[in-house]
Amino acid sequence: DGGITQSPKYLFRKEGQNVTLSCEQNLNHDAMYWYRQDPGQGLRLIYYSQIVNDFQKGDIAEGYSVSREKKESFPLTVTSAQKNPTAFYLCASSTQGSGEQFFGPGTRLTVL
């Protein structure tokens, strides 16, 4: 089955630790995205990548980092510099020109 997988579904982290969220897609999509969702809020764009080995900052990139070494993978690292990391993180992908973004099931990160 084609789709986007995110792991883990729930993640707990101690304050001051870096943590990496996984996002994998087998849809052969060129573009991938990371969004953050807070309770009662819409999604906000963290980073996006339109092609391998290239990525761009979104609206709230501070405290986050990404890599895009493979077309199918776009991991997000939440660093200790992110002051309020507890949130629901959603990964998405799309083909160039389609406009429609397909979303993964999300990772809920809680900082203890």
Task: Say if CB 107 and CB 11 are below 8 A apart.
Answer: yes
Q: Which of 44, 52, 77, 86 binds another protein (CB under 8 A)?
A: 44
1 binds another protein (CB under 8 A): no
97 binds another protein (CB under 8 A): yes
3-state secondary structure of 81: coil
Closer to another protein by Cβ: residue 18 or 53? 53
90 binds another protein (CB under 8 A): yes
Q: Which of 5, 28, 41, 53 binds another protein (CB under 8 A)?
A: 41
Return the structure tokens found at 65: 């980092």
Closer to another protein by Cβ: residue 10 or 16? 10
The C-alpha atoms of residue 108 and residue 85 are separated, in whole angstroms, by 10
Footprint on residues 48-87 left by another protein (CB under 8 A) = 48, 50, 56, 58
Residues lying near another protein in the complex (CB under 8 A) = 31, 33, 35, 40-45, 48, 50, 56, 58, 88, 90, 92, 94, 96-106, 108
